[in-house]
Structure 1
């Protein structure tokens, strides 16, 4: 079992951060592009057909592909407990890219919220000291309870999204997306380990095919989330938080990865998690405040806003 240190981290950490940057660009580009097409039904593939003709969305797709490739590289050299929390920085990158796409300056409060997230992330990694680099499911773990919990959460979130409207619908879509993204990352870790034994090895196992099912489903839900929500940042904050949280859960419960479980460490990890949550809440609330105060000043301006408001 390989420790999450040395040369592996020198490869995995930059790849994970670069992947987060690519995902941030993808989110910013795709969120704007979804406002250019007619609002469709949830999980309707027709949304993707309409988006396929939007250059900005295609740029987002390229960025998504790059982000997934970089994430796969990171997962091949480091545990989920290292890689997944680093994905939280995609929220910061999304804010930066949104500002650039809208040709405006970064909001100081938004920058502060992003930095708070990064600080909490750094604290979590220092205290948790994640170890273990399993490339397959551990025999000693009990996968069923977590699988049931994740499936139930996803189904409930989708039911809420289908039955209600407004912010609760967006929340339901974001929760389902975050869970599916986290599960996809966990399964990609297994695929990355199988690829070490030969490029043909993943095609001989069920994990890759499950990734090909859950991954696109999560992606379609993310596009629904971006389109249904008036603002990008609150929904993206939920997705960004749940994705690594689910990934960490999979690393511990399914793959036998470990983290420092001493009482003082658990308290420190909880505090770091609270700091990350504060940063995410600050980002989301600031976006809503900017939109209410001046519709063209926020991170998540609809593309049909009148000229001169941005």
Structure 2
């Protein structure tokens, strides 16, 4: 096993191996020289629509199962309830839509860099808020609208600045081991918190947990794809796959519990705000992608991240269908 650095999302083509240059003119020229990158934008938008609708259908299915069982909301769904979800057409349809959302997202990443299409997922939060308001016949109050604007605005600002200041560095095996160790600690922390505090859990815990875990899932998925495309499948890649599956399973369970104790737009807020922020934070802290960013960019990173996360907490507190 060699120590060759691996680049996440590597596609074996020269046009994907460039670094994100902080010079605006160079970036403009790089994007303009690859018209296929613009194909990823509509694919990402379609994926956001499926993500929004899938969340709505899954939330309806979970709500019906909760209403027909004796388990109280907030204590974690039982194995029986999870099995009953498979018999709910709305939940199955929602799951299929989420599967389509993933396929469209992967398709968009095959045409465009992640910094171009990743922020577009935040549009799902706006769509979900509007759809849920119509379906549940609950008017989105002013505080919730402000919270949604904070979530979407914070994410867009974060990624916009990162697009012009971050450096795309290769992932070494040491970097990957560090990510796996951090994920192991995160999994243990959330597992212990759920085991001993599950009776006191609210929707915001499940939303934050799912967002953090899926942030690691996105990072590991990019790395695994890159290693497979380079024909580099060994024990470390297998460990990444196992960790990815474990994080996905626990994250999916948290999502279903979030649906049972909160509105779907709160869940989408966690998945479209916390998820990308965690993935980018890993890139900055572990991979050093902000090593060449000017001081003002670091300040903007922090401010934008705080705004987006604060928006999630405000949505959990002021949304008419939930209470922090």
Q: TM-score with structure 2 length normalisation?
A: 0.71
Higher relative contact order (CA 8 A, sep 6+): 2
Distance 1:179 1:122, change over 3 A: closer
Q: How many residues align?
A: 286
Distance 1:211 1:45, change over 3 A: farther
Q: Does 1:143 align with 2:180?
A: no
8 Å CA contact retained: 1:109, 1:286: yes
Q: Does 1:50 align with 2:66?
A: no
Partner in structure 1 of residue 222 of structure 2: 189
Q: Does 1:26 align with 2:71?
A: no
8 Å CA contact retained: 1:182, 1:245: yes
Q: Does 1:153 align with 2:186?
A: yes
Deviation of 1:182 after TM superposition, in Å, equals 1.3
* Alignment partners' CA distance in 2, 1:141 and 1:258: 18
8 Å CA contact retained: 2:128, 2:264: no
Deviation of 1:216 after TM superposition, in Å, equals 3.5
Q: Quick one: which of 210, 233, 237 aligns to 1:177?
A: 210
Deviation of 1:259 after TM superposition, in Å, equals 7.4
Q: Does 1:168 align with 2:201?
A: yes
8 Å CA contact retained: 2:187, 2:247: no
* Alignment partners' CA distance in 2, 1:18 and 1:258: 30
Q: TM-score with structure 1 length normalisation?
A: 0.74
Where structure 2 has 5 or more consecutive residues not aligned to the other structure, the ranges are 1-16, 21-29
* Alignment partners' CA distance in 2, 1:166 and 1:91: 28
Distance 1:169 1:213, change over 3 A: same
Determine helix, strand or coil for the equivalent of 2:64: coil
Cα deviation per residue 1:176-205 (whole Å; 9 max; x = unaligned)? 32222112211222355467679xx9xxx6
Distance 1:88 1:161, change over 3 A: farther
Determine helix, strand or coil for the equivalent of 1:189: helix
- Larger deviation, residues 48-57 vs 2-11: 2-11
Q: Does 1:2 align with 2:18?
A: yes
Q: Quick one: which of 302, 310, 317 aligns to 1:270?
A: 302
* Alignment partners' CA distance in 1, 2:229 and 2:42: 20
- Larger deviation, residues 101-110 vs 237-246: 101-110
